[in-house]
Structure 1
């Protein structure tokens, strides 16, 4: 009784994140069939089924993307041939080309890619990137007119331009040729450019559909190089930049993205680009034999993005195009320094934003959207803070800051949840915006401060049309149930065959019900380290396996309850030459048994739960004394566990267990139908 009382006290003193879980329905037979063909564990072929990979042919192409047929990009992109012809003729005639890029990782890698390619091919080429702070996203009339004054004849946009009606119209008035390469959502009216390359304008079934801006730049550069017979020398360095930009931009790793990123990842650790070599060195990845997408997403990408957010994008462009090792290292060190500043800004603004919301009168659950604007926040990093607020509150977040001391104009960023389309929401509220753009998951906007209330009301109106109260918790999407005894190097190495993982092919998320938190402590900056185990004893009567787990930025939930359902990814941890597999916690909820169905038999009270454990169903029955009876479906022998005792094997066809199991099964079936 003392043990039970302590457990209840721990539960009362603890709190956990308020989340909603979606667990993909198990498909055991289909998973077994794919497992027999691929040689992968059935739990991983279940992951493939969750990604829409259900046939042997699809599985073959998924595991070996280079084996998949690839359509001709000249067919898929109607304006690709015209774009190639324009650039080939410009190179031949010595016409000056100017690239207009963007200040995020996608835009900067795209700019660097085309600068390297066009210079190598003999073009007269330069670039410009608008000021994030004073001009905002996309090509503008100032840049157009400056290009014209400098004698530019051809303007090539990368990662922007699809909504630049006025600037493109001005360029055409001045007699300039304009090629738009972009990947953002297409507005109802597109600019009058000479050629437009945008995956959003092509067949949705095309393998090129999911490309980021750097993908379009890569395709264009290679197409020009092929015509000029110089593709072989350019292919690998451009593929490295494509890989870096695609992952950093969170582009979907499907179609050609998966195919080309898989190849590019093999090149990055031994990069031939001086700037990438230096960036790898300063980020602490030097010596890595293989660089995985998460290393780009969490180590390389942020250092590039930080410069575009609070620094000068020219630092990154120079780093990625220079052949001078000294300049490359100097620029990489600048990226490192700026990224540390960015981290500090993000931490402080996130703290401020939480305080403003939780001590104010805003009610995001009632509005179904959170709109929060404060002075003196750095516009360059508020998008990152918006993502953290989405993780915390589970609602779409529109966060902004004032552009001027008089607080007359607001500029902001938006991040979303799966059921809410940011671009459509901004279109719905466009009566109150000066400028806006983006896609389903994220966007940017500017407006007069006097319209802020109307803008917020319009967004709330839109949110009420597409969101229900049940949507307003952070979503944890779970692939499959896993026994902690299956966690190990063998399974982790098999997961490598599902890589590259990223958007549209996320890292597998597993869950294990009713684990016991045997140890926990705070580490670093507000992180939580746990040691968990599934049971006190395994089926052989030995102490159950324990596994270390990390929960990033979950310090506020310390201490966690003793028993939990956990959702997690698998990660490797190397320490003093030893490599172990640990869990990265992404979700928790009260232990499944706590939510079991209560029933009585005779004068005794029980709870029961039907658990899917790997490919086996397991009925668990508990009494208030802490005894647990476990019987697997179709089995005669079960296990009876008592507190602080090793489990006993029992025959459930014998009294009193037969009536208990029969009653529990009937109660469960009735409750769940």
Structure 2
């Protein structure tokens, strides 16, 4: 039986997204204690608790990151001292240093950061980035041989190298010294480098544990500048800006030292002295240029000061949704040299030229993504939809796709189908290259390791990765991935997960609460933007806007007073019209129109209202006078069930909902109880918590089916 959320015949008639909601448990006493101590709303303190902050000390460090006591990186990175010695000797002897970077935002900002800092410190340094189109990720033997022929004596990898055993071994054979700086997961066998700097190799409680590739580069560059006595504000501020740009664009966790440094970096970025960052901010429309320099195409090239009007702190979404994609687009479908020149030049004319190239190429990237996504959805719906529950993983391979953008499409397929996605395209008849994106319960890197003898090159981490496959191994890889997925995924995992922070009523959503949300900034990975939910609201107005969005007005009655608010649901046109009464999950947004600023909602989740204990009793009681036992069939997560209401004679005639699956197992639940029984008979049944997944959603589906059935 097909899951209706995957069925091609029903896709355009679904009334609500097929999601699983995970609502964080409320801790009202602790929330109130933190609220009183730090003079914040209990809603805000509940958000802190949801992020693992449950002591006064942790809350103080989170709210004031500068109070975090940082150990010297030399204490936490065992090979940092060796790395500094190798670089210091190379600078002193003017030996040639070569950086091998990567073509994503993390790798390119890391490369630019080390180029700027090493040149400032007097090094003779150049760089190379492998071709995404022809070589794929990471340092390779061709680059090693080329460095050797150019007289390079020291190679420095950034954002790659931890899995490059053979290329690094070749470099050592040729007499080259190698420092690996990387942040990807550790393979079974480490390459024979002179030094390896990787946060995955340091103690788990280190504040540096979550840094991205650009974070490792930043630590190395700042440590070297300090050791050489040249850590002045100009160079360290430039490095901080590039660190911030790369960290957010790479979706590194914004906790610990990342939170502290990114918070500082976001304050200096708008008034950056780096020509490339000025140009990128202007071209992306994050902020308007000043009145003295309204035409960004004809700037005052002699003035290297910031041209940003009313400089203020940026937010991570400014980088994540505006600056980062323009940088990433270059690495995906063009020459990374464009970004390296953008971020290392001091010439505003060249910076603007390169920023305009980023703008144009990003538009091309958007068009490619749209086309490939449409083709991929059609491919899945016609070939794979029936087997998704059995496979529990999606492997999509088609010729003619640009592998520079398929990772983005993989993320969108995960959002749509709720399963791990491995997507690839043919480089030639014999080779496939692809990208992978996971779900919380699935580790991409471990899945690739599980297929290691069937793959070519591969790498990545828990959430994402890259790989190559000999074409003749395609079906074997699909089978192996499905085998791995079936070991770690249950059927309830196979729908998009929506993590929700806390309940809020519409009367609580005001400017004061919105301003207090700023204490959580910078938000990002492991410190997500808050998601609220409100139960049983009424949609009093709705309609589509643009090509794919729903704009609506929402109403809730609180204490006999009517409260309304505007909302938008991006790319939800297929769900229009939404049911009149729903539970909603959303983020808060500030909208200014005609000089008036209001709080609005960005809807990201919706479901039919959960039956309350009282409504369950009413529904159960509807069947008291029915002489025959009402039975109804329904489908849930691709499986068929029957359900009915029984008068349980063994329990004084209490009403009981019984749900039976195709294997004969029965789930029994009664109103006003969070405990049910699950088993083939009452004698062998075990108690289960029916307020938690997967039982809560099955019960909701059964009650809805009974309510809709005409007896």
TM-score between the two structures when normalised by the length of structure 1: 0.86
Q: Equivalent residue for 1:114?
A: 114
CA distance in 2, matches of 1:177, 1:447: 31
Q: Equivalent residue for 1:29?
A: 29
After TM superposition, the structure 1 stretch with the greater mean CA deviation from structure 2, 79-88 or 316-325, is: 79-88
- CA deviation string 1:274-313 (max 9, x = no partner): 1011011011112463310011111110000000000110
CA distance in 1, matches of 2:159, 2:383: 38
CA distance in 1, matches of 2:596, 2:514: 15
Q: Equivalent residue for 1:659?
A: none
Evaluate the alpha carbon distance shift between residue 516 and residue 98 of structure 1 in structure 2; reply closer, same or farther with a 3 A threshold.
Answer: same
Evaluate the alpha carbon distance shift between residue 508 and residue 600 of structure 1 in structure 2; reply closer, same or farther with a 3 A threshold.
Answer: closer
Residue 13 of structure 1 and its aligned partner are, at CA, apart by 7.0
1:397 to 421, 424, 431: 421
Q: Equivalent residue for 1:197?
A: 197
Q: Equivalent residue for 2:334?
A: 311
Instruction: Please say if residues 109 and 241 of structure 1, whose CA atoms lie closer than 8 Å, have aligned partners that are also in contact.
Output: yes
SS of aligned partner of 2:366: helix
SS of aligned partner of 1:127: strand
Task: List runs of 5+ in structure 1 lacking aligned partners.
Answer: 1-11, 607-665
CA distance in 2, matches of 1:194, 1:413: 30
CA distance in 1, matches of 2:675, 2:155: 66
Q: Equivalent residue for 1:553?
A: 571
CA distance in 2, matches of 1:603, 1:73: 66
Evaluate the alpha carbon distance shift between residue 670 and residue 309 of structure 1 in structure 2; reply closer, same or farther with a 3 A threshold.
Answer: closer
Q: Equivalent residue for 2:610?
A: 592
Instruction: Please say if residues 183 and 199 of structure 2, whose CA atoms lie closer than 8 Å, have aligned partners that are also in contact.
Output: yes
Q: Equivalent residue for 1:289?
A: 312
After TM superposition, the structure 1 stretch with the greater mean CA deviation from structure 2, 290-299 or 356-365, is: 356-365
CA distance in 1, matches of 2:622, 2:384: 49
Evaluate the alpha carbon distance shift between residue 595 and residue 175 of structure 1 in structure 2; reply closer, same or farther with a 3 A threshold.
Answer: farther
SS of aligned partner of 2:672: helix
Instruction: Report the aligned-residue RMSD.
Output: 1.9
Instruction: Please say if residues 13 and 574 of structure 2, whose CA atoms lie closer than 8 Å, have aligned partners that are also in contact.
Output: no
The answer on 1:499 being equivalent to 2:499 is no
Instruction: Please say if residues 542 and 552 of structure 2, whose CA atoms lie closer than 8 Å, have aligned partners that are also in contact.
Output: yes
CA distance in 1, matches of 2:456, 2:480: 15
Residue 318 of structure 1 and its aligned partner are, at CA, apart by 0.2
Q: Equivalent residue for 1:435?
A: 457
- CA deviation string 1:304-343 (max 9, x = no partner): 0000000110000000000000000000010000000000
Q: Equivalent residue for 1:570?
A: 588
SS of aligned partner of 1:455: helix
CA distance in 2, matches of 1:313, 1:133: 12
Instruction: Please say if residues 599 and 605 of structure 1, whose CA atoms lie closer than 8 Å, have aligned partners that are also in contact.
Output: no
CA distance in 1, matches of 2:620, 2:369: 60
Query: 1:621-636 to 2 correspondence within 5 Å?
Result: none
Evaluate the alpha carbon distance shift between residue 366 and residue 602 of structure 1 in structure 2; reply closer, same or farther with a 3 A threshold.
Answer: closer
Instruction: Please say if residues 14 and 561 of structure 1, whose CA atoms lie closer than 8 Å, have aligned partners that are also in contact.
Output: no
Task: List runs of 5+ in structure 2 lacking aligned partners.
Answer: 1-11, 289-310, 625-669, 677-688, 690-711
CA distance in 2, matches of 1:127, 1:361: 43
Instruction: Please say if residues 103 and 132 of structure 1, whose CA atoms lie closer than 8 Å, have aligned partners that are also in contact.
Output: yes
SS of aligned partner of 1:359: helix
SS of aligned partner of 1:263: helix
Query: 1:84-123 to 2 correspondence within 5 Å?
Result: 84-123=84-123
SS of aligned partner of 2:137: coil
Residue 263 of structure 1 and its aligned partner are, at CA, apart by 0.4
Q: Equivalent residue for 2:241?
A: 240
Q: Equivalent residue for 2:409?
A: 385
- CA deviation string 1:58-114 (max 9, x = no partner): 000000011011111101001101111111111111111110000000000000000
2:672 to 659, 668, 672: 668
Query: 1:612-651 to 2 correspondence within 5 Å?
Result: none
SS of aligned partner of 1:155: strand
Instruction: Please say if residues 365 and 469 of structure 1, whose CA atoms lie closer than 8 Å, have aligned partners that are also in contact.
Output: yes
CA distance in 2, matches of 1:349, 1:444: 18
CA distance in 1, matches of 2:594, 2:189: 59
CA distance in 1, matches of 2:545, 2:237: 41
SS of aligned partner of 2:356: helix
CA distance in 2, matches of 1:361, 1:141: 38
Q: Equivalent residue for 1:321?
A: 344
Residue 597 of structure 1 and its aligned partner are, at CA, apart by 4.1
Instruction: Please say if residues 101 and 128 of structure 1, whose CA atoms lie closer than 8 Å, have aligned partners that are also in contact.
Output: yes
Instruction: Please say if residues 514 and 593 of structure 1, whose CA atoms lie closer than 8 Å, have aligned partners that are also in contact.
Output: no
CA distance in 1, matches of 2:601, 2:674: 36
Instruction: Please say if residues 70 and 207 of structure 1, whose CA atoms lie closer than 8 Å, have aligned partners that are also in contact.
Output: yes
CA distance in 2, matches of 1:600, 1:73: 63
